[in-house]
Amino acid sequence: MNSFSFTILFTFFTIIACNAQKIKPEVPRYIKVSAGYLMVLRQNDDILKEIENLAVKENIMSANFTGMGFVNMTFGFFDFKTKKYNPKTFNDVELANMVGSIAWQDGKPSIHAHGTVTGPDFMAYGGHILSGTVGTGSLEILVTIHNQKLERIKEKDLGANVLCLSGTCGE
C-alpha cells in the first residue's frame, strides 16, 4: 500500500470514528414512579403522540395527566353549532398548566387535554389542545394511572367524544 492510499484510508477511518463519538444514545422519555409515569419530553417532541406512545407501550388502561414546560401549541374552542374546533396557535410560550385524560376509543388511545399558555406579556390563553410540540427547553408530564379501562365514545347529540364511566354510555 502506498502512502497516498494509506492517507485516504486513515482519513476515512478517522472521520468515521469522530462521527461515531457524536452519536448520542436515545434519551428516555419516561420512567415509572409510584403514581404512574413521569415523562420528560424535549424540543420538537410531539406532545400528544408521545402520550399515546406511552399508553400503548405500557398498556395504560386509563389515566389522568398534568404538565408544564415550553411549547408551541394549537388550541381549539369547540363550536357547538358547527361541531368543529376553531383553532389558534401560540409559538414559543410557556405551558403554565396542562391537564388531561387517557382513555380508549376504537382500539386506540384517546387523549383529551386542555391547557393554558403564557407569553412574555404574561397574558394567558388556553383551551382544548389540538396539537403541540415541545419548544426550547423541556416539558414535564406526570401520568397518574387508574385501575380500570375507560372508553371514550362519540355522543351523537353532543357531537363530541365523552368519557364513558359505565358500559351503557351513549344508549
| Domain chopping of the chain, boundaries | 23-164
Q: Which residue has the higher pLDDT, 12 or 133?
A: 133
Query: pLDDT of 87-126, one tens digit each?
Result: 999 999 999 999 999 999 999 999 999 999 999 999 999 9
Out of 3.90.79.10, 1.20.1250.20, 3.30.1330.80, 3.40.50.300, which CATH number does the structure's domain 23-164 have?
3.30.1330.80
Q: How far apart are CA 101 and CA 64, in angstroms?
A: 4
- Reply yes or no on whether the pLDDT at 9 is more than 60: no
Q: Count how many Cα atoms sit within 13 Å of the Cα of residue 59 in the half-sphere of its side chain.
A: 0
